[in-house]
Chains A and B, each alone.
Chain A
Amino acid sequence: MPANAFPFDPERFFRGRMAGHGGRVGIEYRTSGEDWAELALPYSHDLIGDPESGVLASGPILAMMDMATSVAVWSKLKLFVPHATLDLRVDYLRPATPGKTVIGRGECYRLTRSIAFVRGQAHDGDPDDPLAHVAGTFMAPDGYR
């Protein structure tokens, strides 16, 4: 086990994490599996990027996908290992529908000694009608294993 790592329980992790940016924008834990995790971003006035249409800003969706893909890495490892986002690309396929909760699913599809490769999608009710697609990498300074 790398230094600073400890067993990862996503539900417990989010219960203790309502402070900070994730808590302020209202990101919630939904569910997770072998190498993936799903988070939710309920619609809120505080997250609007375009007051005329009421459409959410792109930032909160990126923040959720950063966290969903990060949790996917820890889910795959079954360990919390400190790591940092190296890069993240988001394609905004369509605007999120005003009033609807956005669901973000992140997946870790490849893990090396120090780099995790991730991808994910966000939707607002129908997973076959995604509103964002992401791809990125994380790095663990002390290694993942």
Chain B
Amino acid sequence: MTPKLPPYAETLGLSVAPDDGGAPVLTMPFSDAVLGRPGFLHGGAISGLMEVAAIAALQHALPDENKSFGGRIKPINVTVDFMRGGRDKMTYARGVVTRLGNRVANVEATAWQDDPAKPIAAARMNYLIVRD
């Protein structure tokens, strides 16, 4: 299943494609819309990309567990570590659901450019899951 992206994701210029295992990977091209100081990505855009990736990972995980999921995903918090400057090239992000509970999901997301093993940023999120 490819998640539908909200208007904010379009503002960032994001696209989503499944990886080899079918999990969603988000891509964000370098553009003026995501620029911070000259030549580098804005931390807010990197964080926004990872938050969209985290929600996409959750949407991907939820129907597997419950085919009739029609609930809502509400962000509780996010902690972002910025590790490297984001350069003028394509940025990728992926979320990993580390625990999917009845009410709360723990998700980790990373953003990278050349090498997934060298992330430019990483984030840890808690989401509240409101099931219908």
- Contacts from A to B (Cβ < 8 Å): 19-22, 24-25, 45-51, 56-60, 62-64, 66-67, 82, 84-92, 95
Contacts and interface: CB of A to CB of B under 8 A. Distances in A.
Contacts of A82: 37
Interface in B17-66: 32-37, 41-45, 47-49, 51-52
Nearest to A26: B11
Most A CB atoms within 10 A — which of B9, B12, B34, B43? Answer: B43
Given A59-B12, A85-B82, 9 more contacts: A20-B32, A22-B44, A24-B11, A59-B52, A64-B44, A66-B43, A66-B47, A90-B78, A92-B78
B73 to A, nearest CB: 9
Contacts of B76: 91-92
B32 A19 contact: yes
Contact of A21 (B8, B44, B81): B44
A54 to B, nearest CB: 10
Interface of B: 6-12, 32-37, 41-45, 47-49, 51-52, 72, 74-82, 85
A91 B72 CA distance: 18
- Nearest first, the 8 A-B pairs at minimum CB distance are A63-B44, A59-B48, A21-B42, A57-B8, A20-B35, A24-B33, A89-B79, A46-B11
Contact of A47 (B11, B77, B82): B11
A49 B14 CA distance: 13
B67 to A, nearest CB: 20
Given A48-B7, A59-B52, A63-B42, A86 B47 contact: no
B8 A49 contact: yes
Given A87-B82, A89-B77, A47 B8 contact: yes
A79 B103 CA distance: 46
A24 B42 CA distance: 11
Contacts of B85: 84
B35 A86 contact: no
Most B CB atoms within 10 A — which of A21, A58, A90, A95? Answer: A21
